[in-house]
Amino acid sequence: MMKIKLDVDKLLDDFFEDACLLGIVAPVKDYQFAWHINQTLGFNFILNHSIEIPLKKKGRDYYFSIYEYLVPGTSLAHYLYNNEDDGEYLLPEFKHLDFLWLTKGEMLSKTELQTLIQSLRLLPSVQLVTEMTNEKIKNKQHLIF
């Protein structure tokens, strides 16, 4: 029987090749946060159960919801991850973050990225928005759907 080895590093590199990741502190429910983003910033985030991240920790199953917004007429996609489920974290090294915002498909320009960060900071529930570098993320594989 032939064994096929999955090259996780290559998979991670490919997934994050054209990605940008933001960490957000906003102590509200994910659906409330997505609603505020949609209403205030003109996005159309929709909960996508098919890309939800399942993790098994300490013999229990945890599910981290992901909201998705595909920008019409482009290859740009925005993903809003919930970083916490029932006391467990998708990225345990960033327990202080409530949400992770990932853009993929097209790189945002520095100006577009700064505009997005500034817009998010203006939302009433947002306390912090920070750009995250891939090197700081220990559990990147948890973000792949």
pLDDT tens digits along 56-112:
988 999 999 999 999 999 999 999 999 999 999 999 999 999 999 999 998 889 999
User: What pLDDT is recorded for position 5?
Assistant: 60
What pTM value is reported for the model?
0.89
Token pair in block for residue 93: 């090294």
Neighbour-count burial for 29-51, b at 16+ CB within 10 Å, e otherwise: ebeebbebbeeeeebebeeeeee
Selected residue with higher pLDDT from 41 and 4? 41
User: What pLDDT is recorded for position 70?
Assistant: 97
Q: What is the mean pLDDT of residues 27-53?
A: 96
**Assigned fold of 14-138:** TATA-Binding Protein (3.30.310)
Q: What is the mean pLDDT of residues 31-42?
A: 96
User: What pLDDT is recorded for position 81?
Assistant: 97
User: What pLDDT is recorded for position 27?
Assistant: 96
- pLDDT at residue 142 is higher than 90: no
Q: Decide: residue 77, CB within 10 A, 0-12 exposed, 13-18 middle, 19+ buried.
A: middle
Question: Nearest to residue 145, comparing CAs of 40, 23, 37, 50?
Answer: 50
- pLDDT at residue 123 is higher than 80: yes
